[in-house]
A and B are shown apart, each in its own frame.
Chain A
Amino acid sequence: MSDLKKQFSKIYDEHIKKIYRFVYLKVSSEDIAQDIASETFLKAWDKFKAGEEIKNMQAFLYQVARNLIVDHYREKAKVRTISSQEYQIPDPRMAVATEAQVESDMSQVRLALSEINEDYQDLIILRYLDQLSIPEIAEISGKSEGAVRVSLHRAMQDLKKHLEGKGF
């Protein structure tokens, strides 16, 4: 395997799940999430193999994915609707009794997450799902670290409010 391929293969393995999840939570469709995640890595690979400088690959991947999501909604002018069936995210390790409750909680969170503004969604996903640091999020979002902290706090408040509105 060539060095370039080996290096990018590592990048792919490291980020594919996060990027897929990031996209999936924002488009709520497995097919569309797959398309957008694939295209994100194809674009990154094209740039990478062409020898173009990518200072922060992780930030670059999220930025590309986010732009593709925006393009997707712009082109398709889709209205996001989330059916109850899409909430099901089975985890075989969980006991059957607790599984239903957890799924229900996750569904509520997913629904509430989809209802808050896009920037807040990004911040919550990046911070609490992908466990990125504040400086990393600042680089991806193009904001200062202070602004990220403030926005993140507001995002959580907003999410909480949405969940409480659902009797959570």
Chain B
Amino acid sequence: MQEKDLVRTIEQLRSIEPRKDWVLSTKGRIFAEYDFEHAEPKRLWGFFLKPVAVLPLAALAVIGIVFSFSALQDLKTTNFEVAQLKADLQEIQKLTLSLENLQSDILEAKESLEGTEIISPKMVLEMSEGVRSAAVTGREVIEETRKIAEAASSSQEQLSILTSITNTEKAIEDFEMSYQEKVKVVLESLIEEMEHWALGEEDLQKFEEAKQIYQEGRYSEALERILTIGY
């Protein structure tokens, strides 16, 4: 075999090429993280450019709430005889005051959350644990406080603390909804952005599933699903 024939045969191996969809999706994956971090505000994150309050503020507020809840948890009835509390108006008043402080903390956290500039979608998910544990602890405290209130002898004090409980429950719900709204907005922009991506078969399936979960209103789950794309 002549060398030129050998070279010609070797050159035929140039027909080996990667799949076009893989080439495109790999490129998308390489730039994905960078895009999230450097997204042009007007195009992707403009809606978050409210008075700038960054993550640490929200995180501090959430941590603050958890601390408040921890303090309130000391008042749980598990270590108290309900009978002893029945006549203890001072304790009821103290609880009412604590619940009002709790509402105030939640409101502050909610405002921080709403003003937080989201740097990356992962950041929203990272905040979820703080929000969830704050809400769970808050509801536990409310439940225990309700038991004390029901056992209270004074109907006036009962009314006062029940009103406080209702307001606190509402504040926690608003806080959770505010977080869900944040997730929803991030999710919607991601979906809009990714509609233009050339995804491989597997990633496309994940994307379709994420959209379905989004339609069902399970925003955090949908966001988690989307963030698995490309991995």
- A residues apposed to B, CB below 8 Å: 2, 5, 8-9, 12, 16-17, 20-21, 24-25, 33-34, 37-38, 41-42, 45, 49, 89, 91, 102, 105-106, 109-110, 113, 124, 128-129, 156, 159-160, 163-164, 168
B contact residues vs A (CB 8 Å cutoff): 1, 3, 6-7, 9-18, 22-23, 26-27, 29-31, 34-35, 38
Complex contact A34–B3 (CB within 8 A): no
The answer to whether A25 and B17 touch across the interface, beta carbons within 8 angstroms, is no
Q: Is the pair B38, A105 in contact by a Cβ cutoff of 8 Å?
A: no
Since A89-B13, A110-B13 are in contact, a sample of 11 more A-B pairs with Cβ atoms closer than 8 Å, ordered by chain A residue number, is A9-B31, A20-B18, A21-B17, A89-B16, A91-B15, A106-B12, A109-B9, A128-B10, A163-B1, A163-B6, A164-B1
A160 touches B18 (CB 8 A): no
User: Measured between C-beta atoms, what is the minimum distance from B30 to chain A in Å?
Assistant: 5
User: Which one of B16, B17, B35 has the highest number of Cβ atoms from chain A below 10 Å of its Cβ?
Assistant: B16
Bound complex: CA of A9 vs CA of B30, how far in Å? 10
User: Which of chain A's residues have a CB closer than 8 A to the CB of B29?
Assistant: 38
User: Chain B interface secondary structure, helix, strand, loop or mixed?
Assistant: helix
* A42-B30, A160-B6, A163-B6 given; A16·B13 CB < 8 A: no
Please classify the interface of chain A as helix (H, G, I), strand (E, B), loop, or mixed, using the class held by over half of its residues: helix
Give chain A nearest CB distance to B23 CB in angstroms. 6
CA of A144 to CA of B34, assembled, Å: 38
- Complex CA gap A33/B1 in Å reads 31
Q: Which of B1, B18, B23, B38 has the most CB of A within 10 A?
A: B18
> What's the least CB distance linking B29 to chain A, in Å?
7
CA gap between A168 and B9 in the complex, in Å: 11
How far is the CB of A68 from the nearest CB of chain B, in Å?
Answer: 14
- 4 pairs of A and B residues whose beta carbons are closest in the complex: A20-B18, A128-B10, A21-B16, A38-B26
